[in-house]
């Protein structure tokens, strides 16, 4: 007589299968973990190999300014030190004109291997909002590496004017709306936008008058065609030391080491009036992070050299290194800041 087999009789045979399944699952999990670990190890090894194989040829820094200017000299000073640590020549490629667009586009479309770099500046951030269209995206098409230095912007008055402080200028502007003329260089330059920022943050009714270059601006101020001027400190320092013009305030977050007795604009009562110029290096987007970090480390070491600091100080530039993340944030914040200034001033896009 046959019938259903008691349930208990199947258990001894089922248990080994279950154990086999559990063992197989455990083995698969262990294998997955080891594959992940191996993958991470390979990635680290690959990054290490990339950083140590780099550079394999001379490194080119594309500079959107003519030779002999502050940006060009900054790139050459830092490039000289970088060449020592990289073990390859660092070549400066000057490509001025078109508001820096030509130079910037060259790097945006270069091979992302760290051998072609861009000297960025606050002008790069300005261009992002000043031009109707650009052949690149300023934030997406670059991998910022590190800042190199920053330099002061100063508010000046003629030596024979009644303006002894920035407070005097503000009092005059408030008492006589529309009468104050503020000089700067070219429309769309950092100095021009800083002058517009001065107007808006000080809440004064004034006219910003642009000139074609620093010499023309200084002559206009000395000839009383403008009441005050906003300009980078370096090119005006000779005139300041000669007593031809009077510095009223610097526009950085702290006083200039070159003019320690001159207050900041914020100290002088214009809260929020902070504007300074800076230079930085960037690579094309998709440059391996290991290469970007290697460059950032070498730049920081170069800027820490006393000789490098002094060479930059002689140009009235404060050596200043930053991480790639900090440099990207600086670029993004400046784009937002100058976009607002351009919109409020009604500056037409080019």
CA 203, chain centre distance (Å): 28
Residue 329 confidence (pLDDT): 97
Q: What ranges do the domains of the chain cover?
A: 59-150+276-345, 153-250
Higher pLDDT, 59 or 275: 59
Q: What six digits make up the tokens of 224? A: 């009383």
Predicted local distance difference test score (pLDDT) of residue 44: 43
C-alpha dist (Å) from residue 263 to 10, 251, 257: 92, 9, 11
Please say whether the beta carbons of 110 and 284 come within 8 A: yes
Instruction: Report the CATH fold assignment for 153-250.
Output: D-Maltodextrin-Binding Protein; domain 2 (3.40.190)
Average pLDDT of the residues of the chain: 87
Residues 145 and 327 sit within 8 Å (Cβ to Cβ):
yes
Residue 47's pLDDT is what?
Answer: 47
Confidence of residue 289 (pLDDT cuts 50, 70, 90): very high
User: Picking from 34-38, 144-148, 316-320, which range would have the lowest pLDDT averaged per residue?
Assistant: 34-38
Span 204-255, pLDDT tens digits: 999 999 998 888 999 999 899 999 999 999 889 889 999 999 999 999 888 9
The structure tokens 């021009």 sit at: 192
Q: What is the pLDDT of residue 19?
A: 65
Whether 59-150+276-345 shares its CATH topology with 153-250 is answered yes
Of residues 276 and 50, more confidence is placed in 276
* pTM for this entry: 0.76
Contact (Cβ atoms closer than 8 angstroms) between residue 100 and residue 130: no
Tell me what pLDDT residue 69 has: 81
Say if domain 59-150+276-345 classifies as CATH 2.40.110.10: no
């Amino acid at each position: 007589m046959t019938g259903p087999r008691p349930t208990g009789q199947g258990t001894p045979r089922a248990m080994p299968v279950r154990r086999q399944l559990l063992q197989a699952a455990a083995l698969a999990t262990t294998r997955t973990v080891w594959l992940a670990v191996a993958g991470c190890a390979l990635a680290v090894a690959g990054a290490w190999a990339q950083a140590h194989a780099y550079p394999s040829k001379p490194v080119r820094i594309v500079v959107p300014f003519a030779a002999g200017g502050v940006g060009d000299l900054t790139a050459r000073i830092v490039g000289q030190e970088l060449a020592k640590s990289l073990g390859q020549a660092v070549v400066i490629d000057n490509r001025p004109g078109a508001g820096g667009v030509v130079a910037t586009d060259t790097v945006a479309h270069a091979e992302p291997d760290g051998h072609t770099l861009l000297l960025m500046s606050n002008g790069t951030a300005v261009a992002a909002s000043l031009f109707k269209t650009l052949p690149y995206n300023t934030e997406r098409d670059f991998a910022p590496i590190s800042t190199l230095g920053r330099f002061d912007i100063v508010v000046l008055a003629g030596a024979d004017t009644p303006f002894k402080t920035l407070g005097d200028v503000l009092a005059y502007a408030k008492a006589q709306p529309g009468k104050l003329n503020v000089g700067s260089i070219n429309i769309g330059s950092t100095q021009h936008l800083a002058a517009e920022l001065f107007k808006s943050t000080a809440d004064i009714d004034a006219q910003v008058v642009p000139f074609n270059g620093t010499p023309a601006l200084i002559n206009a101020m000395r000839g009383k065609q403008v009441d005050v001027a906003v300009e980078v400190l370096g090119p005006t320092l000779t005139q300041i030391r000669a007593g031809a013009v009077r510095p009223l305030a610097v526009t950085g977050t702290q006083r200039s080491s070159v003019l320690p007795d001159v207050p900041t604009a914020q100290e002088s009562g214009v809260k929020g009036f902070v504007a300074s110029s800076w230079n930085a290096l960037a690579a094309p987007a998709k440059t391996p992070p290991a290469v970007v970090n290697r460059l950032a480390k070498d730049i920081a070491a170069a800027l820490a050299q006393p000789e490098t600091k002094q060479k930059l100080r002689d140009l009235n530039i404060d050596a200043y290194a930053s991480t790639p993340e900090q440099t990207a944030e600086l670029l993004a914040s400046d784009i937002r800041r100058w976009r607002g200034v351009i919109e409020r001033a009604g500056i037409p896009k080019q």
